[in-house]
Amino acid sequence: MAVLQVSTREFRNKQASILDLADKGENIVIRRGNKVYAITPIDADDLYFTPEIKAKIEESLQQARDGKTHKFSSIEELDRYIDTL
């Protein structure tokens, strides 16, 4: 996978076009001295879901993959189960 590396000066001069490339899926890194920074578009989910919530979601998905689920044939059956929690 190709990575576009730019300096901070180049990023300042071409900011709009570089961000457009990131929006299109291009991997962008900015060099500043010995440090490197990644430019990655984020969406509302990235701002809303904390790392803890993401971990709980992943745990739940793994439980589903492992077959640790409950199946209900009616709303009433689901309501009875929820009442036991």
Query: Which pTM was predicted?
Result: 0.52
Average pLDDT over residues 35-47: 86
Domains of the chain in start order, with CATH, are 3-39 (3.40.1620), 44-84 (no CATH)
Res 73: pLDDT: 93
Residue 49: CB partners within 8 Å, gap ≥ 6?
57
Maximum Cα interatomic distance, the chain, rounded to a whole number of Å = 64
- Mean pLDDT, rounded, for 25-32: 93
Strands across the sheet with 27-32, in order?
3-7, 27-32, 35-39
Structure token digits, residue 81: 């189960």
Given pLDDT bands bounded at 50, 70 and 90, which one contains residue 1? Answer: low
What's the pLDDT score for residue 49?
82
What pLDDT score does 13 carry? 96
DSSP bridge pairs for 29: 5, 38
Mean pLDDT, residues 37-57 taken together = 86
| Sole residue written with tokens 């992943």 | 58
Q: Are 31 and 6 in contact (CB under 8 A)?
A: yes
